[in-house]
A and B are shown apart, each in its own frame.
Chain A
């Protein structure tokens, strides 16, 4: 069963066609990678899937509901309830500690729960760094906090934008291990990346070029999960 269905979406900024008639389906529990050169429409697609923008044409059906015509307020609610975002630049709030950064996501979602936030940090191996400010954490540690924050509200879809783009090899390995673990637990993951090695970890890779789906590649190593 599909969690996400994109049906013929286009996004036009003035004379620029960022996306043109794109179709895509993401099954529940699937790990999908989106690749493409700069200007291929990856970020635009991320924005639309992440409920931060709406397509000029076409429909985006998330969990059975068309979100392409929803109001900004409704999109915010959908984002809060159903999507976990992981960013290339981590985007932690610099004046809050690691655990508080996770609790911020809980605060906007429902109720802050420090114990649960600490368990999320423990899961990414950072329990002992809970009271540290982002400036006291390495890049890899910040990204792990970002992942813990994305997972804290049990999202239906984890959307990651270049999650290893700013990490060294060792930290990239740790983060990819976390993604594998999430995938094994049944999380639906969409990763936008430039890195073919990261894309290879996914079950399927969609390559965008000039705002269109140029090709789709299936990774034979990671078997698709069918629920």
Chain B
């Protein structure tokens, strides 16, 4: 048998034949590793999880016509909008709603008509409350609550939209109310038509006045996307909706700081728990340590044995913690964010390494006490 094999034999026998004490230490490490792994998973998943939540607050990036220049006053062309959208990863796009605006009348009452991709608007503005239904076909529209109150329209009511198009010609289009929008904002004074209805009734140059995008990405990434678009795409200006992006960034930073602090506290508690258990183990095994020293064991060997036991506990606890931690993160994700978290393979080596390191650090003081044991205790019969 080699020295290494004997070393492993001594450590494993010590752990396996003193199960109850080691089970306590292992439990402490496993709980610490579980919380570490779980919270780190959540820490990195919070932007994704909360990003989805924040998307409920509507668009966080808009494209508008560039100020001045040749294209001033002509809006954002479809080509420019499509090019700009190509800089946004598909997985991050929650919804895109391009808008064309034109003043129009119902019963001689002036309102603002907005032509948009209604499905895109629904995704980009999930906070809109619609009494009735979202329009499914051409000829059906959404009207704001203010419009509905003014001209006394309800879902299912028909009306005629009139006005003057860009060419100075009068237009008139019969439409039916599909739903009434309540947002608490300026949208309540709008009439929302599909782009095809808008173009058919009002016409225009085919450009958009504004394109609203709801992007699921952290503030820094969003700023990067905006900068890229600004640099590479002519014919539009990207603008971050700072009210949304900044508050999103602030909340995320605070949440991540909280999770970081909790993780740090848990790690310190784990270390204290493991150190206390190992201290008890050293006290319990003073006679055995004394015997080993009496047999001629150098301090280095005593240290290696205890650190080996600590390392073993750290690795086994870490392995348990990886999987239990993912389950823990999954439970939190589902119960708090109503979404599942994704497994990060990198967490396997990280959690095991962190658990091993913490356990070895926690063993430092007990090991120091172990090497100070006087070998003469074996002769005193203590």
Contact = CB atoms under 8 A, between A and B. Distances in A.
23 contacts: A47-B376, A53-B376, A76-B296, A76-B297, A77-B298, A79-B295, A79-B375, A80-B297, A85-B294, A85-B378, A87-B379, A88-B381, A89-B378, A89-B381, A91-B287, A91-B294, A94-B288, A103-B1, A104-B295, A107-B3, A108-B292, A108-B297, A108-B301
A103 B6 contact: yes
Given A79-B296, A104-B295, A108-B292, A52 B13 contact: no
A93 B291 contact: yes
B152 interface: no
A104 B292 contact: yes
Nearest to A110: B3
A108 B296 CA distance: 6
A111 B6 CA distance: 9
A88 B380 CA distance: 10
Given A47-B376, A89-B381, A73 B294 contact: no
* Dominant SS among interface residues on chain B: helix
B379 A50 contact: yes
Contacts of A149: 295
Contacts of B7: 107
B18 interface: yes
B339 interface: no
B17 interface: yes
Contacts, number: 90
Given A52-B374, A77-B296, A43 B380 contact: yes
Interface of A: 43, 46-47, 50, 52-53, 73, 76-77, 79-81, 85, 87-89, 91, 93-96, 100, 103-105, 107-109, 111-114, 133, 149, 161
Interface of B: 1-3, 5-7, 9-10, 13-14, 16-18, 287-288, 291-299, 301, 374-376, 378-381
B381 A73 contact: no
Which of A87, A104, A107, A133 counts the most chain B CB atoms within 10 A? A107
Contacts of A47: 376, 379
Contact of A52 (B297, B298, B379): B379
Contacts of B5: 112
B298 A76 contact: yes
Contacts of A114: 1
A100 B9 contact: yes
A34 to B, nearest CB: 13
Contacts of B2: 111-112
A100 B9 CA distance: 9
Contacts of B295: 79-80, 85, 104-105, 108, 149
B13 A95 contact: yes
A49 B10 CA distance: 29
Contacts of B16: 95
Contacts of B9: 96, 100
